[in-house]
């Protein structure tokens, strides 16, 4: 059988037209926004005692919908998931001198919100199949200064939440789930985001459900819910009128969600089961096509869990394929199927951690950590993260409707074409290296 030449080497690409963007906004969202505009109240919040301290009608309706769906006592809507993480940590009384364990393989806000509390993140290595924080590594990282663990349910699959929660119970720590990428994922019969003391969801424009910007905290802890709501909306004004003598260490910011965002979020949340169903069907089709290819390992879904696929993340073994990962990714992209070689550089390699200075001029909050001299952010502290990022991770976001199963089959065709041309690709790579 004749092999078609690779697009990277001058051949015709398998896919020669751009893919549609992800757009789940429909008439429902448009109608909901117009209802808000027609009513004239774009925000129902006032930073003072009274009903409006808790937000407008749609904000409260969104919170009620989350409480009902996730079977939790409280939901607190905020203007971003970053705000939700910050408010949750502040509600847990995280502060200067404290340490919080977190994965370095996540969006930066999972760690910077710890810094914004005046605490410091301690980065913990991840597991090779879930890509989430490793409970055993977390146990080894606990010190007398550890106050919480942030479990990021990365890419759409839950972390091993039961061992993490047990670890927190043993040591008197809080468990905060960053569930921005895993809405409605299941962990052992429970919704991801509800196993920890609090969980944070996202409505950012890139997420499965979106309202532009927005987030929400869920919790069964009365005090966390109250303090998060106070932090969301200038809570220092409410301590005395509400008689909150036990939480006077309260200050607030403006992390409030507007009524238009809430109106869109309500409609998007209603669509979430179908949006996830469509993604799961596409990913399962892609997995069926890729699982037999040498050197390509599709995402693993653990027993009693579900994966909702914010990204489709594969592990790549160049020892088996005979093609360096980055060259393989370049060849696949040239065929018209965008993939990324790696996800993000480990967070501890960012300048603010390398120099240990985040706020002001004098090293705060690292300077407040009693272990600062021995608190390492050096390359090599999380070897699994570094190995996966530098050599093994391939991912794509092209797993959303209106793409169809036929598109997934074309993606498999691209992978097969590149693998079948490994000799020509490797030869070209050697020639390029020699020319350099």
- The predicted-structure confidence for 175-223, as pLDDT tens digits, reads as follows 999 999 999 999 999 999 999 999 999 999 999 999 999 999 999 999 9
**Is this model's pTM higher than 0.85 or not?**
yes
Query: Which residues have a Cβ under 8 Å from the Cβ of 172 and sit 6 or more positions away?
Result: none
Q: pLDDT-derived band of residue 426, with 50, 70 and 90 as boundaries?
A: confident
pLDDT tens track for 305-315? 999 999 999 99
Are the CB atoms for 162 and 188 separated by under 8 Å? yes
pLDDT tens string 158-170: 999 999 999 999 9
Enumerate the domain spans of the chain.
27-269
- Alpha-carbon Rg of the chain, whole angstroms? 23
Q: What is the pLDDT of residue 247?
A: 82
What residues does 260 pair with on adjacent strands? none
| 149, 133 Cβ separation under 8 angstroms | yes
Residue bearing the bigger pLDDT, 245 or 113: 113
Residue in 393, 386, 395, 392 with CA at minimum distance from that of residue 310:
395
Task: Give me the sheet containing 198-202, strands edge to edge.
Answer: 74-78, 215-219, 198-202, 174-178, 146-152, 99-102, 120-123
Q: Tell me the CA distances in angstroms from 418 to 107, 125, 330, one per residue in order.
A: 31, 32, 10
Burial of 235 (0-12, 13-18, 19+ CB in 10 A): buried
On whether the CB atoms of residues 398 and 17 are closer than 8 A, the answer is no
Does residue 43 contact residue 56 with C-beta atoms inside 8 Å? Answer: yes
Instruction: Output DSSP code: residue 3.
Output: P
Query: In the structure, what pLDDT confidence band is assigned to residue 245 with cuts at 50, 70 and 90?
Result: confident
* pLDDT of the residue at 30: 98
Pairing state of beta strands 393-396 and 312-316? antiparallel
DSSP-based three-state secondary structure for 119: coil
Over residues 52-68, the pLDDT tens digits come to 999 999 999 999 999 99
Separation between Cα atoms, residue 118 and residue 249, nearest integer Å: 14
- Is residue 110 within 8 A of residue 103, CB to CB? The reply is yes
Contact 386/4 with Cβ under 8 angstroms? no
27-269: CATH topology: 3.40.640
Catalytic residue among 207, 315, 333, 417: 207
As a whole number of angstroms, the distance between CA 182 and CA 184 comes to 6
* Residue 256 contacts residue 55 (beta carbons within 8 Å): yes
Q: Give yes or no for a contact between 102 and 149, defined as CB atoms under 8 angstroms apart.
A: yes
Q: What is the DSSP string of 12-54?
A: --S--SPPPP-----HHHHHHHHHHHHHT-S----SSSSGGGG
* Nearest CA-CA partner of 44 in 77, 88, 83, 73: 77
- Strand partners for 76: 217
- 207 a catalytic residue: yes
């Amino acid at each position: 059988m004749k092999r078609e030449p690779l697009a990277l080497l001058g051949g015709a690409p398998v896919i020669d037209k751009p893919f549609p963007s992800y757009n789940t906004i429909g008439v429902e969202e448009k109608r909901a926004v117009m209802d808000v505009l027609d009513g004239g109240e774009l925000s129902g919040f006032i930073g003072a005692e009274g009903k409006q301290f808790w937000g407008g009608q749609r904000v409260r309706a969104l919170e009620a919908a989350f409480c009902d769906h996730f079977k939790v006592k409280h939901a607190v809507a905020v203007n971003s998931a970053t705000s939700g993480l910050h408010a949750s940590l502040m509600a847990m009384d995280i502060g200067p001198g404290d340490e919080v364990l977190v994965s370095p393989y996540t969006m930066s806000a999972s760690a910077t919100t710890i810094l914004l509390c005046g605490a410091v993140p301690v980065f913990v290595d991840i597991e090779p199949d879930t890509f989430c924080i490793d409970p055993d590594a977390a146990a080894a990282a606990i010190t007398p200064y550890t106050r919480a663990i942030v479990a990021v349910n990365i890419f759409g699959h839950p972390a091993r939440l039961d061992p993490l929660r047990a670890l927190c119970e043993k040591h008197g720590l809080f468990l905060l789930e960053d569930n921005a990428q895993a809405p409605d994922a299941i962990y052992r019969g429970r919704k991801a985001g509800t196993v920890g003391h609090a969980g944070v969801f996202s409505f950012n424009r890139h997420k499965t459900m979106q309202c532009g910007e927005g987030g929400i905290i869920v919790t069964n802890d009365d005090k966390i819910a109250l303090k998060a709501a106070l932090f969301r909306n200038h809570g220092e004004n409410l301590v005395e009128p509400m008689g909150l003598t036990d939480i006077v260490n309260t200050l607030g910011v403006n992390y409030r969600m507007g009524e238009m965002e809430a109106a869109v979020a309500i409609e998007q949340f209603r669509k979430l089961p179908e949006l996830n169903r469509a993604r799961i069907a596409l990913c399962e089709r892609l997995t069926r096509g890729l699982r037999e290819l040498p050197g390509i390992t599709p995402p693993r879904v653990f027993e009693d869990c579900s994966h909702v696929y914010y990204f489709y993340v594969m592990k790549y073994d160049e020892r088996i394929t005979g093609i360096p990962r980055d060259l393989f990714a370049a060849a696949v992209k040239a065929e018209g199927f965008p993939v990324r070689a790696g996800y993000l550089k480990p967070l501890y390699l960012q300048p603010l951690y390398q120099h240990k200075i985040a706020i002001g001029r004098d090293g705060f909050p690292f300077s407040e950590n009693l272990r600062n001299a021995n608190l390492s952010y050096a390359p090599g502290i999380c070897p699994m993260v570094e190995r996966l990022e530098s050599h093994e991770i391939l991912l794509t976001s092209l797993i959303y409707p209106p793409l169809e199963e036929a598109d997934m089959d074309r993606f498999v065709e691209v992978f097969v074409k590149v693998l079948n041309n490994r000799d020509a690709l490797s030869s070209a790579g050697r020639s390029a290296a020699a020319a350099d």
